[in-house]
Structure 1
């Protein structure tokens, strides 16, 4: 007589272990290397393709273990990645899994389950795209150049897949389109509207000289030169960005008005400039160096000159560290630091810059990131061909998680801060009302 075994399957044991350790039910389906499945029918299935995926979690029982498993391909996500990442409390629990004293018993039980499922063995090598241990002083010029290269020098064609023809790698400005009854337009329109918003806030006029710090692929420089007839110096630490930007400048016939340099902001000495834009760059500066950043840019501005700083901010005081366990520090922005808005305002004001306007664009970045995710998914085969499967998975996970980070309250936001360098007489040079200086 055949007696059917009632022992839990690998998938059932694995799902139960995660739910016990995290303290929350997981409304996802789990599939294991032996074909067993557990959990409810759901919009997303987490697939453990082999026992090495379990070993990665056992060696790094927090967010990093699962990130390594996914990036390496040992773990796959079938279905709606947003649905998985949006599970209430998931990110916070993954960040602290294995170190929360109040859950020690459940965590030890989960780890024992991982061992029984084949988690014992040598530590698996990290995926090839993981940042190696950092050397040199944090935020030194050499280390900053290396960090920027890691993130941006991964192939211009790869970035173009999800950024689109504008090649703007920062938050768009999703304004309502005239006559469209609430429609907010395309990604290209949102990025062009953002660039124009920056130009208007800076009060650009024909003949002015603009410094674009962290110029990326040259989009802001080209927009300002074409639409506002200014001359521009754009700087980046990415050689690939600079090569692409110079080619675009040449194609647009703007080489006489735009200079693209591979240069650290600390090495700029040819001021003064009438205006400075810094879009998505100061996150690389770091908390300790932020006062130096603000002070140096202040010296480069003429009296009554304007500075616009467009940067992600944390709602609470959180910064990246060398020991950060998760996705951002180890794969995306090594040494990046997302600071509260108050740190930026304090650094600016201590230099003598006068902050005149702050605008939050949190919802705009969520829309931008979802648009990037959609485009990356739609060009997935090309992304894998251009950047490799590991890097493509890294960027998909990063963009999707970031979108949710901006949609949730209390996590991430983004601000445009407009400051001026007052003249010796105290004049800001700004019109009295916001409507007037926006034009």
Structure 2
């Protein structure tokens, strides 16, 4: 095994039909691949076993989470270099290890098996979601999915997100800080909703209470925030009490489908619709429409994906589904807009913030890396590795325009020929159109 790296590099190039985009270092200390490129480090042959038994993204991720696979050098550059292998291969082209099923490449597959050793791969890391119960997007299963992602400890989230405790795309100006950008995003939402003293705001998926606090403190709104995460709710209630706003803000552990105390003057949904599920988008839009008064506004802030040539064949990202957001789904922005219109909303504005999310994610990764040892103590080595990979890979996805994020401003139009909107509604951005 003294030259495992060279043997593996040759096999990989044969399977890929081209040069390796990264350098390899294997468990025996050998190296191969382009000089100066980020180094993909295989610390143990178990990593290779995982990739053979589960070709593609999930095998790589399991090795990463287990600490058997690592990157030396610029993680973003490494992800950018391998993104074409994992995300952007031609639809008719198999993945690099799946290609070993081709009879012409069986010799290469046998060599890979010799390098990996005969022992089956270890069990998936403990951080992987297993044993889900109930149908997708039932209330029970949604609670389980939200608990997996959000109930990992408020201290960990504070380390990653910073004092704002805002877990969604910030709104950047050149040279601004993360805290300033998150404050500006919350204020952008409030201004789009035209919040005023005494308005009733429903914040769907309220997280740790940041939007509720901003709306009550800066605009005098009366806010109901709902979340399925008990840890989020406890933290949000503590913040509300500390700011003396318990008379203006109520935080509930409640499914948005169970909210019945409308009508509200405005609804904010920031980074929540990704959890709803494609089959539930229309129900989601219907519920929010029913909770608004005539003339009320909805601000739906949601990550989107690029449309697929064959939408029926769209598959949920296996890494995100197994380790990050169980049952989470992204839809093309056109599908979200259609669902809102079908529910009766008049969509008045759509603003794309793709570049803003890439900047936000890079700042979160920097926070995590700067306090890595504490992050590991707060959760686990595997969980911290999941977060570092998912946030860095997401930043690259936004930068490469694989995914985007959009704010939809929609109105429950009060009567034919009216909208309740000013003739020049983009005043929130400083424009005049």
152, 155, 180: which one pairs with 1:154?
A: 152
- CA drift at 1:54: 1.2
1:282 aligns with 2:280: no
- CA drift at 1:184: 3.3
1:304 aligns with 2:298: no
1:423-438 correspondence to structure 2 within 5 Å? 423-436=414-427
**Alignment partners' CA distance in 1, 2:153 and 2:314:** 25
8 Å Cα contact 2:100-2:109 kept in structure 1: no
**Alignment partners' CA distance in 2, 1:222 and 1:65:** 42
Give ranges in structure 2 of 5+ residues lacking alignment.
Answer: none
Q: Which moved more, 1:164-173 or 1:377-386?
A: 377-386
**TM-score, scaled relative to structure 2:** 0.93
Provide the secondary structure at the position in 1 that maps to 2:102.
helix
**Alignment partners' CA distance in 1, 2:424 and 2:267:** 21
300, 313, 316: which one pairs with 2:304?
A: 313
1:338 aligns with 2:330: yes
Match of 1:136 in 2: 134
**1:217-266 Cα shifts (integer Å, max 9, x gaps):** 10000000000000100000111111111111111111110000010010
Match of 1:406 in 2: 398
- CA drift at 1:123: 3.2
- CA drift at 1:342: 1.1
Give ranges in structure 1 of 5+ residues lacking alignment.
Answer: 1-6, 176-182
Q: Which moved more, 1:339-348 or 1:304-313?
A: 339-348
**1:38-88 Cα shifts (integer Å, max 9, x gaps):** 223325222111111111111111111111001001112222111110016
8 Å Cα contact 2:282-2:340 kept in structure 1: yes
162, 165, 168: which one pairs with 1:167?
A: 165
1:201-220 correspondence to structure 2 within 5 Å? 201-220=192-211
- CA drift at 1:114: 2.0
Cα distance change of structure 1 residues 295 and 324 upon mapping to structure 2, 3 Å threshold:
closer
Cα distance change of structure 1 residues 357 and 107 upon mapping to structure 2, 3 Å threshold:
farther
1:367 aligns with 2:365: no
Provide the secondary structure at the position in 1 that maps to 2:405.
strand
Provide the secondary structure at the position in 2 that maps to 1:358.
strand
Match of 1:13 in 2: 7
Match of 1:118 in 2: 116
Match of 1:246 in 2: 237
Q: Which moved more, 1:103-112 or 1:345-354?
A: 103-112
Provide the secondary structure at the position in 2 that maps to 1:288.
helix
- CA drift at 1:324: 4.7
Provide the aligned C-alpha RMSD in A: 2.3
1:227 aligns with 2:230: no
Match of 1:92 in 2: 87
**Alignment partners' CA distance in 1, 2:42 and 2:348:** 52
Match of 1:180 in 2: none
- CA drift at 1:379: 1.0
**1:344-393 Cα shifts (integer Å, max 9, x gaps):** 11111111111000000011111111111111111111111111100000
1:49 aligns with 2:43: yes
Q: Which moved more, 1:319-328 or 1:188-197?
A: 319-328
Cα distance change of structure 1 residues 205 and 338 upon mapping to structure 2, 3 Å threshold:
same
Aligned length: 425
- CA drift at 1:309: 0.2
Match of 1:3 in 2: none
1:127 aligns with 2:140: no
- CA drift at 1:120: 2.1
